[in-house]
Amino acid sequence: MRKIVFESPMKAVVRQADKPVCGRGQVLLKMRRIGVCGTDIQVFAGKNRYMEFPVVPFHEGIAIVEETGEDVNDLEPGSLVTIRPILSCNMCYSCRKGKKNACMNFNSLGVQSDGLGADYFVISREYVYPLEQDADLDKVIFIEPFAVGVHAAYQGDVEGKEVLVVGGGTIGNFTAQACMLAGAKKTAICDISREKIRMAEKSGIDFAIDTSNLTLVQAARQCFEEFPDVIIDCAAVPAVFTQILELAGKTTTVVIVGNYSVPVQADIAKIQRNELTVKGCITYREEDFIRARDLIEEGRVYLDGFISKRYRFSQVQEMMEQALKNKGINMKTIMDFEGE
């Protein structure tokens, strides 16, 4: 079979490898589609602090069940499935408290361990989720990133509250949509990219603000009487985080979703004196993933036009270079395994 390897920064190659063997409690998957995430772009560029080269990339995927191992009795070969790619040890402090997404031995496919960038992939049954057999791949490929938004809304406890999402890329847009679906009173999103603001407007988000010439405080004045109850950071830009702390009012909740590639200096006095609640947000819980799947299959998430570029397996180097170059304007790049 073929597999993709990021050998070093900016270098993706296709290699031949043995087809994996399906063991007890496992599922052998034939991959059909991959979505390229901002984390994948970081890994490709060598700017992710939690990985080492070489690595087989990618964690957003749709597949067909090729084979099931012993003790797997609830999936049939030929079933269309998606994969929850955050692996947990089930034994550490966090896992024992039911917070497996914050596992102390955190392991994301395509970062800490080899990912879905191969013709076949084998994984424990617990991470495989069936889809409707006739599901639209252009829709269900977004289940994994939408789950991030669902968890962000949960962390922000947004029901009945006014929410500002900073950063209008795929994760930011999905976070804003998830907040609305979770019952937020008012949801605003901002970004410096006019293309992403147009997508937010199409998605039906209450307020979509172009901040290319505005501070966050100025943007917030267009949406809220004073300041938002919850600010969700999907931008992961140190200078923007400083603005978030400037904007935050007394008792505001700040949720950090974006993946910062460098340490950030913060004015702790602003957090202390304003009694802010600052929450980290890492991936999602299993229930968030299932809710994301259900919402997308029910057609409750706006997804039209989210696919910016399509590539084939053999075009991985070109695909990743494009994704990196255009990360400021792209929503989602996808790779199909078929058609070559």
Model confidence at 9, pLDDT cuts 50, 70, 90, reads very high
- Apex 333 CA angle, 280 and 138, nearest 5: 95
- Tokens for 164, please give them: 């500002």
Return d(Cα 278, Cα 237) in angstroms, integer: 16
Percent of the chain, pLDDT > 90?
96
Run of H or E residues at 310? strand 307-312
pLDDT, one tens digit per residue, over 161-170 is: 999 999 999 9
Contact status, residue 18 vs residue 1, Cβ threshold 8 Å? yes
Tokens 């006739």 sit at which residue? 134
What single DSSP character describes residue 22?
Answer: P
Contact status, residue 228 vs residue 164, Cβ threshold 8 Å? yes
- Tokens for 252, please give them: 């505001």
What single DSSP character describes residue 298?
Answer: T
Q: Which residue has the higher pLDDT, 66 or 327?
A: 66
Contact status, residue 296 vs residue 142, Cβ threshold 8 Å? yes
pLDDT at 71 over 70: yes
- Tokens for 86, please give them: 């955050």
Provide the 3-class DSSP secondary structure of residue 311. Answer: strand
Question: Model pTM?
Answer: 0.96
pLDDT, one tens digit per residue, over 108-139 is: 999 999 999 999 999 999 999 999 999 999 99
* Start-end of H helices in the chain: 38-45, 93-96, 137-140, 143-156, 170-181, 194-202, 216-221, 238-247, 268-273, 286-297, 316-325
pLDDT, one tens digit per residue, over 194-213 is: 999 999 999 999 999 999 99
Q: Which residues contact 218 (CB under 8 A, 6 or more apart)?
A: none
- Tokens for 293, please give them: 């799947």
- Tokens for 167, please give them: 């950063």
Provide the 3-class DSSP secondary structure of residue 285. Answer: coil
Return d(Cα 29, Cα 21) in angstroms, integer: 11
Q: What is the CA radius of gyration of the chain?
A: 20
